[in-house]
Amino acid sequence: MPEISRFSCMNQLPDASPLHDVTDFAFVKSYVLNVRFDDGVERAIDFEPILIGPLFGPLCDPRLFRQVKVDRDLGTLVWPNGADIDPNVLYDWPRHVAAIVQRRRQRWAVDYGEPRSRAPAPDRP
């Protein structure tokens, strides 16, 4: 058996986390969606904190945000501007959201008028 075939499907590895697909969603309020997964788990996700940067920033427009759809081929939520999020990140949202927000703020802070870091500025001579 060729080496690569043993790893052809990540969810078959003994220590791999199961893969999940988004099957449906419902609008809760503003930027909050109740997302349903293929195993029946539902999670209320507030997307507002991550709406920063060139791809997700435009989703601050509620009209664009509300155009979200489930892409059955990808198994996740997609927007018409090309924004999407890995379904496993959505599934484990509480574990990932703080890192996502931090990374987006660091990367695009200058463009959006936010400080790059909350650390105090170094003393100037």
| pTM of the predicted model over 0.75 | no
Q: Which residues contact 24 (CB under 8 A, 6 or more apart)?
A: 35, 36, 70
18-108 is classed CATH 3.30.470.10: no
Residue-averaged pLDDT of the chain: 81
> What does the domain layout of the chain look like in residue ranges?
18-108
The candidate with the shortest Cα–Cα distance to 25, out of 55, 61, 65, is 65
- The amino acid present at 90, given as its one-letter code, is L
Instruction: Return the pLDDT at 111.
Output: 53
Q: What is the mean pLDDT of residues 14-30?
A: 88
